[in-house]
Structure 1
């Protein structure tokens, strides 16, 4: 099976324009690894980002950035963000995860820890 040589990179973004740096960093990594890039945003079910002009503009901008580096942007709705990210990672045979550092270090640690425990063997890169 050739899937071991395939490098798939998942970029976890929020609906903030500043996530552009994560997509670009992951794109550089993808170029080094000759890997495929997957950009994902998970919105909680009660979040209605389409009614929020600022957030929908940011997602549209991030969609354009994703396309410019050859990646698709997936927006999924779920109340269990970690489980959704883990399932997406497994379905797409993700080998690397790129995520931003949370302003609240405890949140970042929890998400990072939960992903690390749920995805053994997947390299997780936290970008400040």
Structure 2
């Protein structure tokens, strides 16, 4: 399958990016614990563009993603799917920064409460 500039990052892409950050001695000052979560996602921007993504981590308050293409801060819709269910969340993208291989990592806060 031919890779396009907007194709979904693979698990290998995610591992490579996370390894490139290395082990940090920085103190974790996060208010909420995050869980590693690597599942396919789909980001729909306010303009209707669809960006394939891979999640990096999730918490009760938000999630981190890996994708190709810059996201501007603001509201998006993120779809995640399991084998039996599909989840859709409104998320406020708080930041987006470039990383290796033309990819970007981003983080956002849930605007709608995730289902339990």
- Do Structure 1 and Structure 2 share a fold, with TM-score over 0.5? no
Give the TM-score, by structure 1 length.
Answer: 0.29
Higher relative contact order (CA 8 A, sep 6+): 1
Larger strand proportion of the pair: 2
Larger helix proportion of the pair: 1
Give the TM-score, by structure 2 length.
Answer: 0.31
